[in-house]
Chains A and B, each alone.
Chain A
Amino acid sequence: MATIEAPLPTTRERVRPEWLENIGGQLLALVAALVIALLLGSFIILAYGESPAVVYGAILQFSFGSKDGFGYVISIATPLIFSALAVAVCFKGGMFNIGVEGQYLVGMVVAAWAALKLDFLPGPLLMWVTILFGMLGAVAFALVPAVLKVKTGAHEVVTTIMMNGIAISLVAWAINGPLHFTQKLGAFNINLRTDPFNANARIPDLGHRFGVPESAHLSWLFPMALVTAAIVWFVLKRMRLGYEARAVGASAGSAQAGGISIGSVQIRLFILSGALAGLVGMQQLLADKGYLPVQYEAALGFTGIAVAFLGQNSPLGIVLAAILWGVLARGETAVQIDTNVPREFVIILQGILIISVVVTYQLAQRRLLARQLRKAAAVEELSDSAAVEDIEGLAKEDR
C-alpha cells in the first residue's frame, strides 16, 4: 500500500509541542494512576498486618529476581499484547471492539481444526497454516459486526457483546462435536478436549535458549508479538489506513468530507483487529497446551481491553503494559507464598489500577482539550493581528 505524506507539513512546528504535551499528559496520568493504585493497595496490605514494601517487593522479586520469573511474565504478556493491539486498532478508528474475546475463541476453534485436519502438512508449514487459519476464523467472526455496522448501523459494542455469547457456545459445541476427542490413548478421562496436535503445529520453545524452563512456555510467539506491535505501529502511523483511521476516529463527518469512505475504513480496521485477535489464543493452543481444552483460558480479550487502556492504545505502551500486567499476574503467586495477604489482592490491585487509569486519563484529556481550546483562541487572536501586520508589510513592500 502506498504511503502518503502527512497532510499538514506547514504546521509541523506547531504540532510537535502539542504531541509532546500529549505524551507528557498521558505519562502524568499513568504515573498518577499507578501511585493511586499502590497507595490504595497499601491500605489493604496494612489491613492484613503486612508491610506494603514487603508485599510489593515480593511481587517485583518474583518477576525480575530470576530468569525463570521473567520468562513466566513474558509468556503471560504475549497473548495480552495481541489482544490489546486488536482493541487499540479499532479504537484508533473511534470504534470499540469488545468482541476480541469472542473472536479469539473462534480463532482457537478454527486453528484447532486446521491443526488436526491438515496434519499431513510438512514441518513448520503446519504451524504457519494453523496460525493463519486462527487469524482467518477470527477475521470472519469480526466481519459480522463490522459489516452490520457499516450496512445497517447496528452499534458494534452491542453486536460484539452478543457475538461473544455466541462464541462461547460455539467453542463448547466444537469440543463436544466436530473436534471431539477420538484417540483412545491413555486410561484417564480426556473427553473434555480435542485430540493433541501434531508436534509440527506447535510453536517452538524459545525460553530454554536463555535458561528459562520449558514449563514457562516462553516461545517464539513473544518475538512475533513484538514484531506485530511494530507492524501495527507502522500501519497506524505511516500507512494510509492509519491516517484514515485517525481521521475517522477524530471526526467521521470531516473525514467523509475529505473524501474518505468511512465504511471501508471501519471494515478494514475490523479485519486487522480480527486478525490480531486470532493470534491471542495461539499462546495457550500452540505454545502451551498443544490441544484445545474445555477449560481454556478465557477473558484474555477483556483483559486486553484493560491492557490497551493502560498502554494508552499505543503499540509501545501496550507492550510495556502487557509486561506490567504479567508482572502483577505473576505476583499473585509471590503474594501467596511470601505473605499473609491472599493472592486475590493482586486482582484487586489490577482493578484499582485500571479504574484509576481510566479516570486520570480522562481528566488529563479534558485538561489538554481545555488548554488547546485556550491556545486556539489565543492563536486566532494572534493570527488576526498577524494578518494585519502581513497586510501592512505588503503595503510597505508595495511602496
Chain B
Amino acid sequence: MALGDIGAAIGIAFTYFTIIYLTGLGGLFSERSGIVNIGLEGMMIVGTVTGSWGAHHFTLPPPDGLGWGLPWGPIMGLLIGMIAGATFATIHALATVTFRVDHIVSGVVINLVAVGLARFLSTIFFGQATQSDPGQPHMNPVNIPLLSSIPWGLGRAFQQLSPMVVVAGLLVFPVSFALYRTRWGLRLRSCGENPEAARSLGVRVAPLRYEGVLLSGALAGLAGAYLAVEVAYSWGEGQTQGLGFIALAALILSNWNPVRLMVASFVFGFAQAIPLRLADAPIFRLIPDQFVRMTPYIVTIVVLAGFVGKVRPPAAAGRAYEGGTT
C-alpha cells in the first residue's frame, strides 16, 4: 500500500464528507430547533433528482455576458436541489409543528414518500423512472493550493476536488456563528431545549421550528444535488445509499455540535472510502468490505449504548410542543 493510495482514499473521503456533513448540518438545524428529523435521507433523495434535472436543464449560459464565466448548469442544479429539499421538508414541518404528528412517524413517511416522488419526478424530467441520461455538466474540479503539492502522493487528497467540498468545509464558520453568536441561533437552540421557557421570554417557537426544518431540507437537498450533479454526474435511483442515515449517526456522535460534526463526517466518509481505495491494505484485506461499511452504524450504537462517551440530544427534541402555533 502506497501513501498515494491513502491520499486518494482521503480524496474520496472528502467527497463523502461533503455529502454527510451537509446533510448532518441539516439535521443539526432541525433537531436544535426541537424537531427530530429522520427524514434526511428522503430530503436528500428529492435533492438528487431535482438537482440533476437543474443541471441538465440549464446547460446553456445566460445570454450575452451575463454568465460571468460561471458553470451555470451545475450551480442551478445545486440551487434547485436546495429549494426542492426545503419545499419537501415543508411537509415534515407542517406535520410536526402545525399538526403535532409524532416526529418519528412523520420522518418515516417522508422517507417513504421521497422514493416514490423521485420516481414520479424522474418520469417527468427524464422520461424514465429510475435514472437520468449520464454525462451531465458539472463544475471544473479544483486543486487546493499548497496542500495539493504535498509530496509522497498525499497531495492527491487535495487534487481534483469539487468546489463544493471547499464550500462544505468552510460552512462550519457561518453555521457556528449563526448558531452560537446570533440572537436567532440562541432562540433556535432555546426552542430545542425548552420551548415553554423560550415562549415565556417572547420567542415565537413555531416559526423558528419551521425555519429549522426548512433549513434542514435545504441542506439535505443540497447534499443530494451535490451527489447527483458533482459526484455521479447523473441521477440514479438508490444513489443515496443510506448516507442520510450515516449523517444522522454522525450528528448523534457529534452531540449536535457543528465542529464535532465535521470530524465525525470525515471519519465516516473515510470509512466509506476504505473499501473503494484501501481494500488491499494489509489491515483491511482480512475484513470483508461489507464489515468496513457497517462501522459507522456499529460505532453509533456503541456510543448510544453509553459504552463510550455520552450522548446528549437537545432536551425538547421529539417532544410535541403544545403551546399553540405562534
Chain A residues near B (Cβ < 8 Å):
96, 98, 144, 148, 151-155, 157-159, 161-166, 168-170, 172-173, 176-177, 299, 302-303, 305-306, 309, 342-345, 347-348, 350-351, 354-355, 358-359, 362-363, 366
B301 engages A162 (CB within 8 Å): yes
B279 sits at the interface (CB 8 A): no
Chain B interface size band reads 35 or more
* Residues of chain B within 8 A of A358, CB atoms compared: 95, 101, 105-106, 109
* B246 CB within 8 Å of chain A: yes
CB neighbours of A299 from chain B (8 A): 115
Given the complex, which residues of A lie within 8 Å of B252, measured CB to CB? 158
Question: Given A355-B109, A362-B100 in contact, is the A347-B288 Cβ separation under 8 Å?
Answer: no
Across-interface contacts of B104 in A (CB, < 8 A): 96, 98, 157
* Interface contact A354-B113, CB-CB below 8 Å: yes
Cβ-neighbour of B301 out of A96, A154, A355, A363 (below 8 A): A154
The reply to whether the CB of B276 lies closer than 8 angstroms to some CB of chain A is no
B290 contacts A173, C-beta separation under 8 Å: yes
Chain B residue numbers with a CB within 8 Å of A168 are 242
| Known contacts A165-B246, A305-B112: A158-B294 contact under CB 8 Å | no
Answer whether residue B297 sits at the interface, using C-beta atoms and an 8 A cutoff. Answer: yes
B129: CB under 8 A from chain A? Answer: yes
7 contacts between A and B (CB under 8 A): A157-B104, A166-B298, A170-B290, A348-B116, A354-B109, A355-B113, A362-B101
Q: How far is the CA of A63 from the CA of B202 in the complex (A)?
A: 56
Main secondary structure of the interface of B (DSSP, over half): helix
Q: Which of B286-302 contact A (CB under 8 A)?
A: 288-291, 293-294, 296-298, 300-301
B233 in contact (CB, < 8 A):
no
A24 to B62, CA, bound (A): 58
Name A's interface SS: helix
Q: Are B117 and A348 in contact, CB atoms less than 8 angstroms apart?
A: yes
**Complex Cα distance A169/B292, Å?**
9
Residues in A neighbouring B288, C-beta threshold 8 A:
173, 176-177
List chain A residues, Cβ under 8 A from B306: 152-154
CB distance from A330 to the nearest CB of B (A): 16
| A-contact bits for B101-127, CB 8 A (1 contact / 0 none) | 110111011011101110110111000
Q: Which residues of B contact A161 (CB under 8 A)?
A: 38, 245, 248
Interface residues of B in 21-43 (CB under 8 A from A): 38
Distance A152 CA – B298 CA, assembled complex (angstroms): 15
Known: A98-B104, A165-B294. 4 other contacts (CB 8 A): A165-B245, A166-B297, A344-B120, A358-B95
